[in-house]
Structures are given as structure tokens and as C-alpha cells.
Chain A
Amino acid sequence: MTLVIPVGPQHPALKEPGFFKFEAKGEEITKVDFYLGYAHRGIEETFARRNYKHNIYLSERVCGICNICHSSCYTQAVEKLAGIDPPERAKYIRALIAEFERIHNHFLWLGVAAHQIGFDTLFMLAMRDREIVMDMREMISGNRVHSATNTIGGVRRDVTPEQVPKLLKGLDKLEKAMDYYLNLFQSDRTIIARCSNVGVLKKEDAIKYCAVGPVARASGVETDLRKEDPAGIYSKLSFDVITEKDGDVLARGMVRLREVMESIKMSRQILREIPGGPLRVPVELKIPPNEAIQRVEAPRGELLYYVRSNGTENPERVRIRTPSYATWSSFSTMMVGGTVAEIPIVIWSIDPCFSCTDRVTLVDAKTGKAKVYTLEELGRRHK
């Protein structure tokens, strides 16, 4: 008997809206289908209606967790567009906050992953230790989550000399905590039993489906934009690209946890080497017609911004390709052949962000057919 198990849009395993339809024979999953689009907000369109400065605010709202990556990707794209080079100190501060974001994202991942496999104690402890990095973010930027630090041509707030020892102390605490979780993740038998050989994505599949970020790295694909296409000061920082071979949930977890250690190392280097100087350069908002692409390694993988200017204060077109969106195509491969018990942890192992993923499909309600609109048809509204 095939049982259709609906997961979402409201389900305790998913804190965000997405609908997954699993067909299961007993416990084994035979077919997966998923529907996204519950949180479409028309952000790309909104970008074209506001000026470059206002759009910084908007880019941070694409994704709550990766807000720094979005705003730094957007601002760097606009800087390319306008031919501005921000001061060195601003680049260092951008990288520092981006690495803090990676740390807090991966701690959050660890916590929720523990909850998905029914290990609530680890969930609570991981969230407790995540507070350290949240406090550090608040110290630098004044905000815990939406830090609003980046601006076009630099950053808005400085890291003062008094803050540096506090930040270093916080990094020590984080390193100690993550060391413990790394050990736990490698040695706890219930965790290994639940995560090892589950949701396997082979290296060929990872390449075939264009997986990005930790998902690709866990399958053995050595890809990290911080090394391949370093933006800002990443070419000056020393760090290793973490890869694992197995491509299962455990490997994806290990990649993330070991990345936190690398991020801590990088943050220390940034704090050690940060040069003095101004925080930002003045910017002229009327950017002549031009186009620019910027890629950034967000905690979840490759984030891409394409911006086209037309001589006004508003961009003509902004296109965002989020890492979660790029990862979904490899999802069915991981799921089929698994069991119902694996659903939550496998969904979570790709670290999905549903607000990043939502695109709109226009469907005729009578015929049920999807319609593709051409650029001319869509553009007609503006004229």
C-alpha cells in the first residue's frame, strides 16, 4: 500500500513554508515531489523601483540568516557597476561580519539538525553557544540578526580597539564549544546511526545537479568562492576548503562544523591584520548604464547578484540566484530509497531557506497549465 505523506506547508519539521509530497511504501520512500512558492514577495521587481541606497535594506530582507552576504554581494555589485573601490578597512570589516554570519548559521544548523533527529539537548546547547556569536555581532553592528553594516562604498560602523579583545575572547569560547560538538558529532553513536549513509548525494550527482556550498563540498566537490573567485580581502586570508567524501548527512554536518573552525581562524586573522583608514568613500547614486555580476560564498553556498543600471538612481534589473534555490534540484536524488524517518534530517541537511527559494509560476486556474511570459510581455507594464 502506498501512503502519501504530506510534509508542509505547516509541519513541525519545517519552520518555513514548503510543501513536500512523499509517497511511501511502509517506511520506504518511492517518490518525492515538492512545491515551493508560499512566500513569494516579488523582491527582484521591487529592486527596480527603489534607489540603490534603499535597495541595501531590501537585499538584507531576502534572507534573514544570510543578510550580510546578501547586502555585501549587492553592494559589491553596485560598486563594480559604479567603479568604486571601498577602503581596505571596510573590506576587512565586511569579511569579519560575513564570517560571524557563517558561524552563527552553522550553529543554528547544528541545533535544528539535532532537533530533527530527536536530540533536543544538543539543540538547546547549540542555541546557547550561538548566543556568543550573536552578542559579538551585536557588539560590532548594533543588531543581532539584521546587522545593516554594509553600505555602498564601505561600511557604516567601525570595530573599535576596545572591542577587539572582547571579540577574541568570544572566538576562543566558540572554538572550545565547536571542538566539543565536532567530537560529539564524530563519536555519538545515535547521531552516527541517524546521519551516516543517509541522504547520499554522489559526487557525479552533485556536479550534475549543480549543487553549491557545503552540500557540494560534502560530496567531494572542492568548490568555495572565497578561494575560486575571492571578493574583497578573501585572497589575503589563509584558510582551507573543507571537503568530505561520503556525501551523506553526516558529511554535510561535518563540513559545516569544520567550516566554523576555519571561520574562527579567519576572524582571528582579520582582527590581527585589520588596517586603519576611513570606513567608506562618497558615492554618486546616478550610475551610468552598465552591468555587473557579483558572486559571494554565503553560508549555504554560492550567491549571485546581477545588477544592470540605466543612468538613473534606480537599477533597471536585479537578478538574485540564492544558494538554496541551486540546491533543490539535487534533493530528490537524496530522498528516494530512504525512509520516512529520514525526511526531516535530509531536508534540513541541505540547510534550506524557503524565503530564498520562492519563485512565482503563473498557472491558468481553468486548464492547470503553466504559462511562460516573455520579457516584452512583462516589460509592457512599465510603459
Chain B
Amino acid sequence: MSEILSILYFIFSSIVFPGLLFVSFIGLLYVGIDRKVTGHMQHRIGPPIWQEFLDFGKLMTKEDITPKAAITPIFKAAPILALGSLAAVMLLLPVSSAFPTLMLTADLIVIIYLLNIPGISMMLGGYSSGNPFGIAGAGRYMVQLLGYELVFIMSIVAVAARVGSLNLATVVSYQATQGWLALDWRLLPAVIAVFIAAQGKLLRAPFDIPEAESEIVGGPLTEYSGPKLAIWRVVYDVEAIAVAALLISLLFGGPVTYLIGGVQIPAIVDFLIKTFLIVMLTTVIRNILARVRIDQALKFYWTIGVLLTLISVILVLVVK
């Protein structure tokens, strides 16, 4: 009986909460707000905050074209693979309490792997689309991945070394007693570096190089249309939430329950506020900077980014 219940719970978790449906809803909503804020920053009115839902709905009804030159199975599977991996990663991240739905011993490694799958599927999609812009975009993505991923992983290593565990739940409960890791001066360079890396991971300016509209049309997504493009849009939006959720668990104490005036505020509210603030931070950064070139981006990540994280790792290991 309990086995059936746990299977049902697992299915519910992956599809409804905190899996696919919940995170898609939040992702579309947050990116809608992002677009509204962008509009105001640019002295425009901007679209309504539910615009992403409308776009999604419209794209779903559009014709689905697969180009003749494309390698069809890979081209079709890429968006689904990306969304699936993101839904899976949500199960490993703490959302409604300090503990994630699935507990693994070294879940940080699994999370890093799963968070890379959307990027890799985007590359596969670009390469398999048979479009020169898609191929150029995928090539750029590959270079960018080499840049930001090193910084991202090294920052996580710095945090893991500080706590002494590769388990996200341990990191969160450590912060419950010791305070936010983002406030630890030894980790401060890594915090800055991880935000720079996240900007590249989420393909936001100045690192929106793989899909630079004015240079290579849509990059890997050039040939995508209709429902497949709609799924890609959801992937973008969900990725923002997933990366933000990982960052708050690693550095900002994770979802915490508060007591305000005798009323218990559930941890999910804390989760939503914190992820929202992180998404907004990336929004502001993307609106005040121009896009850099791919060689400049790589150089930036491998010098300044790596230097920052290296300082943190050394500080954490040396200064006790």
C-alpha cells in the first residue's frame, strides 16, 4: 500500500508540484514580469505580465515545421529532453521545505548534470536543424558552455567545501543554523562569480551570444516553430527558475518558514520571493549591458570568473 502511495506521490511530484506544471507556471509568470520590467526600464509600456502564457498558447496552435535538411529524431527530441531534465531537477531542489522531494547522497553533482542537459539539447537542436545560423549558434553555445560552466561548478565546489558536503539538504540545514553562505566573506567572490555564470547559463545579455538575434537570427532555435518552439520558450523560463532555486539553496538559506505576528508563512512563499529577486537581478543586468563577442565572453569567464572562484576556493580551504 505504502509503495503504491510513494509511487503516486512521485508521479504527482514530477508532473504537478514541484515538477512540470508548477515550475512552468512560475517560470512563465516570472519571465512575463521580467518582460514588463524590461519594458519599463526601456521607457516602454511593455507587455502584460501574462504575455508569456499568451505566447505559449499561440505557439501551440501554430503549424509545426521540421526542415527537410534536419536530422528529424534529434531535432524533435531536443526540446522535450530539455524540459524533462528541468522538471527532474526541480525534484532535487528544495521548494516547499528545507528538503527536496528526492533525497540523494551527492545530489549537487546530479543537479549540475541535469542543469546542463537543456544547454546540450539546444546544441543538438541547432546542429541537427541543418541551418547555418543554427550551426553557428550551436558552436557559440558550446564555447560559452565551456566558459560559464567552469565558473559555475567551481563556485559550487567552493560552497560544498565550505559546508563539507555535496548534499543540498545539508547545505540548506547548515545555513539554517550558521546563517546565509552568501554573507560569508570567504565565499563573496564566488557569489559574484556564480551570478556572472548564471547570466551566461540563462543566455541573458551580455551573454546572449548563442542566440544573438541581430547576428545569427535565432541561433539554435532558428528553425524551430510552433509547439516545439513553445516548449523551448518554457525551457528558457523554467531554467531561470531552476538556476535561481539552486542559487537560493546554495547561498541564500533556501526556502525557510517564518513566523510573522503569530502567523506561519509557508516556506513556498519564501522560495517564490527569493527566486523572484534573483530573476529580477538578472533582468536588470541584461538591460544595462550590451552583448559581448564570444571570444570576449570566454576570455572574461576564464580570467575574471575563474579568478574570483579560485580566490573563494582557496580562502575556504585555507582560512578556517
Q: Which residues of A contact B (CB under 8 A)?
A: 3-6, 11-13, 24, 26-27, 114-125, 128, 188, 190-191, 193-194, 339-344
Contact = CB atoms under 8 A, between A and B. Distances in A.
Contact of A12 (B140, B214, B291): B214
Q: Does more than half of chain B's interface fall in helix, strand or loop, or is it mixed?
A: helix
Interface of B: 38, 41-44, 132-133, 135-136, 139-140, 205-206, 208-209, 212-217, 287-296
3 closest A-B pairs by beta carbon, nearest first, are A118-B291, A119-B290, A124-B42
Given A3-B132, A125-B42, A340 B215 contact: yes
Nearest to B209: A341
Nearest to B213: A12
Contacts of B206: 118, 190
A343 B43 CA distance: 28
A117 B136 contact: no
B289 A119 contact: yes
A119 B291 contact: yes
A17 B248 CA distance: 48
A7 B216 CA distance: 9
28 contacts: A3-B135, A5-B132, A5-B136, A5-B216, A12-B213, A13-B215, A26-B139, A27-B294, A27-B295, A117-B214, A117-B291, A118-B212, A118-B213, A119-B205, A119-B290, A119-B291, A121-B41, A121-B288, A123-B42, A124-B44, A125-B43, A128-B43, A194-B291, A194-B292, A340-B216, A341-B215, A341-B294, A344-B215
Contact of A6 (B44, B132, B139): B132
A115 B132 CA distance: 22
A13 B218 CA distance: 11
B132 A341 contact: no
A125 B287 CA distance: 12
A119 B204 CA distance: 11
Given A121-B287, A194-B293, A115 B42 contact: no
A264 to B, nearest CB: 22
Contact of A124 (B43, B132, B216): B43
A190 B289 contact: yes
Contacts of A4: 132
A42 to B, nearest CB: 32
Given A12-B214, A188-B290, A118 B132 contact: no
A119 B285 CA distance: 11
A281 to B, nearest CB: 45
Nearest to B143: A27
Contacts of B43: 124-125, 128
B205 A3 contact: no
A208 B182 CA distance: 59
B292 A13 contact: no
B214 A190 contact: no
Contacts of B216: 5, 340
B78 to A, nearest CB: 21
Given A117-B291, A194-B293, A344 B214 contact: yes
A120 B213 CA distance: 11
Contacts of A191: 290
Nearest to B205: A118
Given A12-B214, A13-B214, A194 B136 contact: no
Contacts of A344: 214-215
B217 A12 contact: yes
A222 B119 CA distance: 50
